[in-house]
Structure 1
Amino acid sequence: MERPVELVAMENLFSHAAGSDVPEPVDNLDPVICTAVVPGPVARAFMGFTDHTHLWWPMENISVYGPGSYVEFEENLILETADDGRGATWGTIDEWQPPLSFHASWYPGSTAIWSTELRVAFRGVEDGTEVRVVHDGWEGAEDPAGTRAAWEKDWPEVLDRYVRFMGGASD
């Protein structure tokens, strides 16, 4: 018995899916975890991170529009605004627990379709407040390994700038 023409056409239509163009699964991409201690209580550390980001974030190296742009937490979004008014959404906050933590879908320079997961937690320690950044969910990125490698390099710089802003000693 011959197969219907429609079925053969459908097999040909999707035959590329079985080829070598299928991306490899994202396995063994560990979270990027960075911690820093800033002087002062947890509430002050949280506020410095979320209310004053525009004063310490390294916009010259890690931004969509570069120096002169402005980053802020506004409602459930993390936004960058260029000096000419253009805007880019860096993330969508889906869990907000001040002053202890927040969680966001993170996609600066991309779209929510290609988001990763970012959790920042604050806890009191003897010398002030420990800030812990856990960046994960690399399978959501367009280039999982490349995105992870970039943030593994960038998060220490970001936290170092934050620590200096908060009055701590940088590494």
Structure 2
Amino acid sequence: MVFSRPVRLWLLPNAALLAVLPLWGILRYPHLPSRIPQHLGSDGVDAWTERSIGSAFALVFVYIGVTVLLTACAELALRVTPQAELPREAASFGHGLASSSLNRPRTRASALGTARALLVLNACTGISLLIGCGVLWRSTADREVPGWLFAAMLLPLLAGTAGTVAAAIRDRRAPAN
């Protein structure tokens, strides 16, 4: 990985969530009922499944996969040569490297901003899934789920997505030099 020191700091919340989620699940697993929630609908839990490692840790596995994907995307954003650093003849539209289907960051700074935004989006995803695990890992097989919990799960995802979109807009507005 080529992550610089400042970018590595943005990995810390993700690493903490990757440690907390499985540990919390391992501690909760023996106390789970034999049937656990499989799906949450607008009226609470609307599907159940038998407790197993796969069903109980599904959200943890999803977060691991999302973390791998978004960390790789952040890494790629930092490895791609920005438009500002391309040779002049290649940087013009329709010629050489710049005509590829790759959407290059305009500058090194915007690549760094994109990488940070992706890592923040990943942490926001982890927070949403942490809340979901709280529902999944309850000790009782209760159908009722408070309505505010849906908003609590959605808000971090919306915030992370807004940050990623804002980073993309800033990149498009940055001069390529």
The two structures have a TM-score, normalised by structure 2, of: 0.27
Larger RCO, structures 1/2 (Cα 8 Å, 6+ apart): 2
TM (norm. structure 1) is 0.28
Structure whose residues are more often strand by fraction: 1
Larger relative helix fraction: 2
